[in-house]
Structure 1
Amino acid sequence: MTTWNLTGTEKHVLICNGSTCMKHGGEEVTQAVRDEISRLGLDEKIHTTRTRCNGRCKDACVLIVYPEGSWYAASSAEVGRAIIQRHLDPSIRLEGSLIYRFEEEKMTPAFTTERFRGIAKGKDKEKGEKQA
């Protein structure tokens, strides 16, 4: 097992490699994201981690970028590359792929397109519904 020295890391990208995401191009997205990081010479600034299920299977393939706390639906390798570029150049627009963002100390949905809301956490779990 590798033990990375993460000194100097500015961003951490979590890439879902759960079964649903893998069925929806997760391997291609993972490789594209890592390739884009290398292509831009950012290997020492952006660390990636393959995860198992991130719990947003209907948005497969899911990428999470920290410290921003932005959750994305990376529907293709090209979108995965654009997500990396977006975190270097805020003028790149990805609203259609953004699922959640961390604002005012909490996760806030960024539903600009019709998206599955999901199952509520807590005592009264209700079935998920589409966000309008």
Structure 2
Amino acid sequence: MTTWYLSNTKHHVLICNGSSCNEAGAEELTQAIRKEISEREMDDTIHTTRTWCNGRCHDKCVVINYPKGTWYKDLQPEDAPLFLNSLLANEDYKEKASHSFVGQGFERSPGVVTGVSKDKEKVSKVSKIL
């Protein structure tokens, strides 16, 4: 197993490869992002990891940029150059950002589905209403 040297890493990009995202092209997105990183010779500063489900299936394909903490939705392979441009500028790719870490929590972008609470009591109340 490889042990990467991460001392120069500025961005850790988590690419959801759960079943919903995979059906929407996550593998192609993963390859497009990795190709763009390689072509720009940014392998030393941008590390990518395939993940299982990130719990935002409605937003497929989901990508998360850490340490900034921005979540992206609806990313497609053709978005890879603009996504990388945003990382290099240390800005959010605003057209695709769904949640941004602000202070003590996340701020949801306008028009993004709220989602279901992880609080079991709240989930129970919601399911009774539905």
* Shorter-chain TM-score tier: 0.7 to 0.9
SS in 1 for 2:58: helix
TM-score (structure 1 length as normaliser): 0.85
Partner of 2:93: 94
Q: Which runs of 5+ in 2 are unaligned?
A: none
Q: Which amino acid aligns with 2:122?
A: D
Partner of 2:115: 118
Aligned length: 124
Query: 1:74 touches 1:80 (CA, 8 Å); kept in 2?
Result: no
How do residues 6-85 of structure 1 correspond to structure 2 at under 5 angstroms?
A: 6-85=6-85
- Structure 1 vs Structure 2: percent identity of aligned residues? 41
SS in 1 for 2:117: coil
Which aligned runs of 4 or more in structure 1 are off by greater than 6 angstroms? none
Q: Distance in 1 between matches of 2:90 and 2:64?
A: 16
Q: Name the one with the larger helix percent.
A: 2
Query: 1:24 touches 1:75 (CA, 8 Å); kept in 2?
Result: no
**C-alpha displacement at 1:49, in angstroms?**
0.3
Q: Given the superposition, is the C-alpha separation of residues 107 and 39 from structure 1 closer, same or farther in structure 2, using an over 3 Å criterion?
A: same
Q: Which amino acid aligns with 1:25?
A: G
Q: Given the superposition, is the C-alpha separation of residues 11 and 51 from structure 1 closer, same or farther in structure 2, using an over 3 Å criterion?
A: same
**C-alpha displacement at 1:42, in angstroms?**
0.7
CA RMSD of aligned residues (A): 1.7
More divergent stretch after superposition (8-17 vs 77-86): 77-86
TM-score (structure 2 length as normaliser): 0.86
Partner of 2:106: 107
Q: Which runs of 5+ in 1 are unaligned?
A: 128-132
Q: Distance in 2 between matches of 1:72 and 1:29?
A: 12
